[in-house]
Amino acid sequence: MQELLRQLQAVGDLQRRLLPRELPRLPGWCLAAHYMVGRWPGGDYYDFLHLPDGRLLLIVADASDQGAPSAALVAMTRVVLHSCPLSTGVEKLPYCPLRDPVVQPPHILLGHLNRVLLENSLADQFMTAFCGVLEPIDGGLHYANAGHPSPRWWRAAEGRVESLRDASGLPLGMEQHTAYHHKHMEMAPGDALVLYSDGLTAALDERGQTFGCERLDEAIRQSAAEGAGAVKGMVLASLDDFLGNQAPEDDVTLLVLERMA
C-alpha cells in the first residue's frame, strides 16, 4: 500500500513538473491559472508558447484514464509541442526541420498531435484538447477544439457569459483521419475567457450533483469586472463551497485570460 501511494505521489509530481513555471506576461493582458491534482492523479495539462512574432500559443488538455498512462500521454504531448517548428515557430533539428517554419493554425496542430498520439498510445487512450493562438494587439484568438469542454466567454459590453462558438472534433488519438475546424473570435477590452478541464464542471458533491456550467457562469458574472485573479478566486471558492469537506475526484485545471479594459 505504501508503494502504491508513493507511485501516485510520483505521478502527481511529474504532472506538476510538466506545467509552466510561470504565466506569460503580455502588455494589456492578465492571466490567472490554477491546477489541482485529484484524489487519483489524472492527465490534465496546460501550456503556453511564446511565438517569435509576438503571438501566444495556448493549450488546455485532459488525457483519459488516470495514473501513469495519462501522465505518459501528457509528457508526449509536451515534447511534441516544445520541439516542433509547427508549434514553436523555431527550427529545432532534428525535429520537423523546415527552412521557413511558420506556426500552423490550431486545427492543423491538433491534427498533427492526433496522428502522433494515435501511433504512440494504448488502444483505449485519448486526450481532449483546446488549442488557441492569441494575437495580443487586436485581441484575436484563432482556435480549434478536440472534444474539450468549450471555454466560457465573459463579454463585458453585454454583461453576460456565453459558451465559445463550438469548433469541437473528436478527442486526440481516437481516429486517424479526424478533421478539426478552425474558428476565430475577438476579445474586446474588459472581456475574459475561462478555460477549464471537466474535473471542474463534473465535480460531484455529497448528493451526487455536478458543479456544472451554471455555477461556473454565476461565479464568472460575480467577479469578472474585478479581473482574472478575482474570477479564479470566485470560481475556486464556489467549488470549495459546493464540495464541502470532499476533495475533487479528478484533476481540476482553470485558466483565466483577461483583456484589460
Positive or negative, the Cα torsion across 49, 29, 133, 122? positive
| pLDDT exceeds 70 at position 26 | yes
For residue 81, count other CB atoms closer than 10 A to its CB: 21
C-alpha cell at 235: 470560481
Segment 157-191, tens digit of pLDDT: 999 999 998 778 999 999 988 999 999 999 999 99
Mean pLDDT for the chain?
A: 89
Span 135-148, average pLDDT: 97
What values do phi and psi take at 133, rounded to 5? -120, 115
Q: How far apart are CA 132 and CA 78, in angstroms?
A: 15
Residue 7 above 90 pLDDT? Answer: no
Return the DSSP state at 194: E
Q: What pTM did the predictor assign?
A: 0.92
Whether 95 has a pLDDT exceeding 60, the answer reads: yes
Q: How far apart are CA 99 and CA 188, in angstroms?
A: 36
Closest-CA residue to 198 (of 132, 253, 126): 253
**With the C-alpha atoms ordered 171, 86, 80, 57, is the resulting torsion angle positive or negative?**
negative
Residue 226 confidence (pLDDT): 97
Placement of cell 506576461 in the chain: 25
Q: Determine phi and psi for 197, rounding to 5 degrees.
A: -100, 165
87, 104 contact by CB (below 8 A): yes
Q: Could you report the per-residue pLDDT of 71-84, keeping only the tens digit for each?
A: 888 888 998 999 88
What is the per-residue pLDDT for 8? 56
The 10s digit of each residue's pLDDT in 49-65 is: 999 899 999 999 999 87
C-alpha separations of 191 from 101, 172, 228, 238, 250 in Å = 32, 29, 10, 21, 29
What are 126's three cell numbers?
Answer: 485519448
**Paired sense of beta strands 43-50 and 252-259, if any:** unpaired
Q: Which residues pair with 144 in a beta bridge?
A: 131
User: Angle, nearest 10°, between helix axes 212-223 and 228-243?
Assistant: 140
Percent with pLDDT over 70 in the chain = 89
Lookup result for grid cell 501511433: 119
**Taking residues 129-150, what's their average pLDDT?**
97
Strand pairing category for 140-146 and 152-155: unpaired
Residue 148: predicted pLDDT: 96
The domains of the chain, with CATH numbers, are: 2-259 (3.60.40.10)
